[in-house]
């Protein structure tokens, strides 16, 4: 605003304004805008209002694409306000006679199922409100991960930095999300827990606050819900909560005879980009037309995303159940990935195969530790306190439930400040409940599954005067230095 004002003054008077005059003018304009003008929501790249979506082309003409259930058109006076952050690049004017089949020449996917998921993600990225799935591209080097990600970014939200390196902290992620529509990270080798949690918040909505620079008490708040894209050689997404919000694509290697020069590839893509954008907008229009009429037999996680992709099906040549069946299979793959990444999950699944189990978190930890080999116990993710085990169980519970193993925290107390953990096969639930009703209610640790070597029922321990047993944690066991608590205190934390 300052530069614009100086430029206007110079054009009229052939000289710049004085510093004091400029400060006074800006102060008056700010006060008038804040206290005397209308308040507008301001958007980056995409906005939605009254059943219409608006896509800012970010070109010098300030043209915007209006997409409704009847189709799309270019306008210059949209009912929404856009801002253009540094790094935003213009989109081409969309063309009418396009088809998304042409996009398959520019992305590397393994099969039709992965193609369906990729197109569904691109359609979700053109929806002004989430939730948005996180697209996770993995493969060996030379498989076109970076190129596929850049193609999607150029098609929807081009930026001078198309794909970025791993961010340093949550603040960097939220600033990037505030100043662009899409967040894309390239060539990640691992995903730190804080970044995994941050991507979960971006997917389904969340905020971050920090102290404003050069102030003591002023707070700066970042809030965003954005489409996100990741790529890496390894399977970097392993935590169940982010996997449940992700689309997993394992790209195939590219044969030598199919490789293209960089210059020729991007020239071909830029020529096709107007047609591809037009085809995407046609699918968005179809989704707007049918979204409120779609009724799925079962609503999966990210239900709004599934409904949106299903609503666009006729424009893509899909049947109404085509996407949901593929999405369900991809989510099952995500559950298996989460279980494979956890050493605790393997032990719990083996125990459930042998029979039901119930007992306290301390007893379960003792049994798991006794049954695990030394390599497993040395793993950084292996729990060493009942409280940490309880956190692991709660995180794994949805993934275990998908393979027929239920983990429940029984609300019936076993004694003062104690609760029971119940592990069983899903089809054995009724029989287990009957066994529990016939039991003495003590929550004893000896079941058909895990065995506790050298331990006895907690009630008999109490009778023997051993209720003061303490589980030690030296702060170097990978559990973030959890405080030393008695078993009863740790179980109360559950």
Domain limits of the chain? 1-39, 100-332, 342-493
Q: Give CA angle at 383 (379, 388), nearest 5°.
A: 145
pTM for the model stands at 0.75
Domain covering 100-332, topology: Rossmann fold (3.40.50)
Tell me, what's the pLDDT at 224? 81
CB 387 within 8 A of CB 493: yes
Tell me, what's the pLDDT at 427? 59
* CA 306 to chain CA mean position, Å: 15
Tell me, what's the pLDDT at 284? 97
Tell me, what's the pLDDT at 256? 84
Tell me, what's the pLDDT at 367? 80
Contacts of 483 (CB under 8 A, 6+ apart): 473
pLDDT lower than 70: segments of the chain = 210-220, 351-352, 411-418, 426-494
């Amino acid at each position: 605003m300052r530069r614009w004002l100086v430029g206007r003054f110079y054009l009229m008077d052939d000289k710049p304004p004085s510093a004091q005059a400029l400060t006074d003018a800006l102060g008056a304009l700010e006060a008038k805008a804040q206290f005397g003008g209308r308040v507008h929501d301001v958007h980056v790249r995409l906005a939605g209002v009254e059943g219409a979506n608006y896509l800012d082309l970010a070109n010098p003409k300030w043209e915007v694409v209006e997409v409704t259930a009847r189709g799309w058109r270019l306008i210059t006076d949209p009912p929404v306000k856009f801002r253009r952050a540094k790094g935003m690049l213009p989109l081409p004017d969309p063309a009418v006679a396009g088809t998304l089949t042409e996009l398959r020449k520019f992305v590397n996917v393994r099969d039709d199922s992965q193609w369906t998921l990729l197109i569904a993600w691109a359609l979700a990225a053109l929806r002004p409100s989430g939730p948005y799935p996180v697209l996770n591209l993995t493969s060996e080097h030379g498989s076109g991960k970076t190129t596929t990600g850049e193609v999607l970014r150029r098609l929807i939200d081009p930026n001078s930095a198309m794909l970025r390196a791993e961010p340093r902290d949550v603040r960097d992620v939220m600033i990037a999300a505030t100043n662009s529509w899409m967040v894309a990270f390239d060539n990640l080798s691992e995903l730190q827990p804080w970044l995994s949690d941050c991507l979960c918040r971006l997917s389904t909505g969340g905020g971050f606050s920090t102290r404003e620079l050069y102030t003591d008490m002023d707070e700066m708040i970042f809030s965003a819900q954005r489409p996100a894209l990741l790529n890496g050689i390894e399977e970097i997404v392993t935590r169940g909560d982010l996997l449940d919000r992700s689309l997993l694509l394992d790209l195939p290697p590219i044969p030598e005879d199919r490789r293209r020069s960089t210059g020729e590839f991007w020239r071909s893509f830029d020529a096709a980009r107007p047609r591809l954008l037009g085809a995407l907008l046609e699918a968005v229009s179809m989704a707007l037309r049918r979204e409120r009429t779609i009724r799925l037999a079962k609503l999966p996680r990210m239900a709004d995303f599934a409904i949106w992709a299903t609503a666009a099906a006729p424009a893509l040549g899909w049947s109404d159940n085509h996407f949901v069946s593929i999405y369900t299979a991809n989510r099952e793959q995500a559950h298996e990935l989460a279980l494979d990444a956890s050493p605790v999950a393997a032990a719990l699944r083996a125990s459930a195969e042998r029979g039901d189990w119930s007992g306290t978190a301390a007893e379960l930890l003792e049994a798991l530790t006794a049954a695990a080999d030394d390599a497993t116990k040395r793993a950084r993710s292996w729990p060493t306190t009942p409280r940490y085990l309880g956190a692991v169980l709660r995180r794994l519970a949805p993934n275990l439930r998908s393979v027929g193993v239920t983990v429940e925290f029984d609300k019936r107390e076993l004694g003062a400040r104690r609760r029971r953990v119940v592990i069983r096969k899903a089809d054995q639930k009724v029989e287990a409940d009957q066994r529990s009703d016939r039991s003495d209610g003590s929550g004893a640790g000896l079941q058909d599954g895990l065995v506790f070597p050298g331990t006895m029922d907690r009630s008999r321990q109490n009778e023997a005067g051993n209720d003061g047993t303490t589980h030690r944690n030296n702060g170097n066991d990978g559990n973030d230095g959890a405080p030393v608590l008695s078993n009863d205190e740790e179980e109360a934390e559950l």
